[in-house]
Structure 1
Amino acid sequence: MKKKTCIKAAFLLALLFATAQAKTFYAKESSLPGDATIDLKGYKEENPIIRDPENPEVEVDPGETPQTDGELRIDFVPKLNFSTVMISKENTVFPVNAQLFHGNTSARGNFVQVSDYRDDPTGWTLQVRQENQFKHATKAGAQLKGAVISFDQTWANSTRDLAKAPMVSKDVIRMSNVGETYNLAEAQLGKGTGTWSIVFGASEENHNERPNTLQIRKDGSGKEMTDPIFKKPVYTNRAVTLFVPGATEKEAGAYSTVLTWVLAELP
């Protein structure tokens, strides 16, 4: 039975052989059968460590995040925030806020981190589903009808061999149907083991030959915005966007929706 886990909101094997100086002894020849056993297991990160998606050897602190348990698990999912924007009667595309971190790490593209430390990995898929349309926080029935979240510039990164990376979509993933599940990444048998970041967009300082999708976010007066939690400048990430039709009726105030991130084992 296929196992699924959901969140709403280099294979390293080291063998050390020791050698010692040999001494020669002579004795009457005799023999006795015996057994020799060895149990080889791959290195496992028992506790999730969140890694910089652009420099995965570096541990980072993106703040609290929901996680799943087990040897095949989701370590991190992004909290997508499209910021405060002006109401418009035109079709408008709003970029999401880029991922920020406590400490010295700069803004990054939004990402999901998946770990697979099963002894017999069979592969996995990462999917996302929007459970409902954007709803107004206080006004019952007020929704952003026709609003669509899109994911673009998807790539995978890890400290592992990138030839073993999960496959990601080269096309824009438009979540145009509320309640429908969309594939973000798929690791076939023999791939996707260890810890992997599935990343949407990248910063200008990345060394992964990815185009820069981040830009400083400014308010209506042209002033740079600062995040109140991370105490850092806010960046936009045009790899994750929200389209809102101009014809949609809009009430001033906060809107929200629920995204379910699904990790399922293959086959």
Structure 2
Amino acid sequence: MFFGLLLVTIGSPIFLAREAAAETESMDGSGTVTFEGEYPQEILDPENPEIVVDPGESPQLKGDLRIDFVPKFDFYQNKISDKDEIYYANAQNFFGATKPRGNFVQVTDVRQKSTGWTLQLRQEIQFTNNEAKHKEINGAMLSLDKSWVNSLGNLENAPQLSKEIINIDNVGASYNLAQAEAGKGSGTWIISFGASSDNNSNQKNTLEPRLDNKGQAVLDPVFEQKPVYLNKAVTLSIPGSTIVDPVPYTTELTWILAELP
């Protein structure tokens, strides 16, 4: 797609001398510049947004109002328990030198006129494995806490975040994560759940190294064998009365970005 931009230029006046009197004449000119392609959908470091990072592949929306990145929550491999348990998600890892961060979503609004937007999350199904004897993890609840926002832009124009812990206890319901009022929310915004100890935004550290049952660091086979960290801001709680099988269970999450009228 091509974009045309009209440059307004001021023409330099041409002075012509005449015998009777000096008169000023001018000619108008114009300038043009043409672009092709689309705005880049670069993913930014949640704690240092001036740095472009590589968190791996993610679903993306296109257009002037879009989602650039969403997290994939992985709650690791855990022992079956008959007690109420809380499990922590793996923190976001990256290719390259970037250290682990809290799990995050990135939203970009480059509309000429920002009317505002909302970001919601919906869990479509319970954690499920259709091949297992016990196909669902009854009562499992995903929770998101310690949300904060960062950007290269003016933080006074940041979207408002939910101040409460987001407990997704109703499968099929949509939960508000962020809302930008009209005139705010322009640019790129990173909404994080949790943070590392390296952050300069006065956010509490929620990350810890993940260790195996022998006390050894767990390494990430996807991200260059880098150490895996857990993030205490993103949890999955399971009642002790729920019976599960020693198999992986998965769910479907829908991230909803809506333009305000």
Secondary structure at the counterpart of residue 73 of structure 2: coil
Q: CA deviation at 1:138?
A: 2.2
- Contact 1:115 / 1:195 at 8 angstroms: preserved in 2? yes
Distance 1:73 1:250, change over 3 A: same
Distance 1:35 1:190, change over 3 A: farther
Match of 1:236 among 200, 210, 230: 230
Q: CA deviation at 1:58?
A: 0.1
Q: Is 1:102–2:95 an aligned residue pair? A: yes
Aligned residues: 247
Match of 1:245 among 207, 232, 239: 239
**1:58-84 CA deviation, whole Å, 9 max, x = no partner?**
000001111011000000000100000
TM-score, length-normalised on structure 2? 0.87
**1:106-152 CA deviation, whole Å, 9 max, x = no partner?**
00000000000011111100000000000025226511100000000
Aligned equivalents of 1:241, 1:47: Cα separation in 2: 32
Q: CA deviation at 1:17?
A: 11
Give the number of the structure whose residues are more often strand, by fraction: 2
- Contact 1:54 / 1:157 at 8 angstroms: preserved in 2? yes
**1:203-240 CA deviation, whole Å, 9 max, x = no partner?**
00100110000000011121110011111000000000
Which contiguous aligned blocks of 4+ residues in structure 1 show a shift greater than 3 angstroms? 16-19, 21-32, 34-39
Q: Where does residue 63 of structure 1 map in the other structure?
A: 56
Letter of the structure 1 residue corresponding to residue 241 of structure 2: A
Q: Is 1:171–2:164 an aligned residue pair? A: yes
Distance 1:148 1:23, change over 3 A: same
Q: Where does residue 259 of structure 1 map in the other structure?
A: 253
Q: CA deviation at 1:28?
A: 3.6
Aligned equivalents of 1:105, 1:226: Cα separation in 2: 15
Q: Where does residue 183 of structure 2 map in the other structure?
A: 190
Q: Is 1:162–2:155 an aligned residue pair? A: yes
Aligned equivalents of 1:106, 1:66: Cα separation in 2: 22
Aligned equivalents of 2:251, 2:234: Cα separation in 1: 15
Gaps of 5+ in 1: 1-15
Q: CA deviation at 1:88?
A: 0.8
Secondary structure at the counterpart of residue 208 of structure 2: strand
Letter of the structure 1 residue corresponding to residue 238 of structure 2: V
Secondary structure at the counterpart of residue 74 of structure 1: strand
Letter of the structure 2 residue corresponding to residue 195 of structure 1: T
Q: Equivalences for 1:5-20 in 2 at 5 Å?
A: none
Q: Where does residue 76 of structure 1 map in the other structure?
A: 69
**114-123 or 23-32, which deviates more:** 23-32
- Contact 1:62 / 1:102 at 8 angstroms: preserved in 2? yes
TM-score, length-normalised on structure 1? 0.85
Instruction: Report % sequence identity.
Output: 49
Gaps of 5+ in 2: 1-6
Q: CA deviation at 1:47?
A: 2.0
Aligned equivalents of 1:147, 1:242: Cα separation in 2: 7
Aligned equivalents of 1:45, 1:196: Cα separation in 2: 19
Aligned equivalents of 2:13, 2:169: Cα separation in 1: 71
